[in-house]
Amino acid sequence: NSEDVRCKCICPPYKDHSGHIYNKNVSQKDCDCLHVVEPMPVPGPDVEAYCLRCECKYEERSSVTIKVRGVILLA
């Protein structure tokens, strides 16, 4: 299920740009700054330096488990 996977990139402040967290549903092989950070907040020459500072992690979760836990907690 595509809603149960995502890539999360945490990018710290860079030059005059504040830090930001980006989430996008992409495959594990595309879980990197270049595929997830949109729009790119820095101009072309700074993209590599900006992306090297970002930490990207591929995450999988079970929405069914999350829903079941919610129902149990509400009961």
Q: Which domain holds residue 22?
A: 5-73
What are residue 36's DSSP bridge partners? none
What would the 3-class secondary structure string for 50-75 be? HHHHCEEEEEECCHHHHHHHHHHHHC
Predicted pLDDT at 1: 47
Nearest to 13 by CA among 35, 42, 34: 42
Number of domains in the chain: 1
pTM of the model: 0.74
pLDDT in tens, the chain (75 residues): 446 889 999 999 999 999 999 999 999 999 999 999 999 999 999 999 999 999 999 998 766 666 666 677 676
Residue at token pair 């949109």: 38
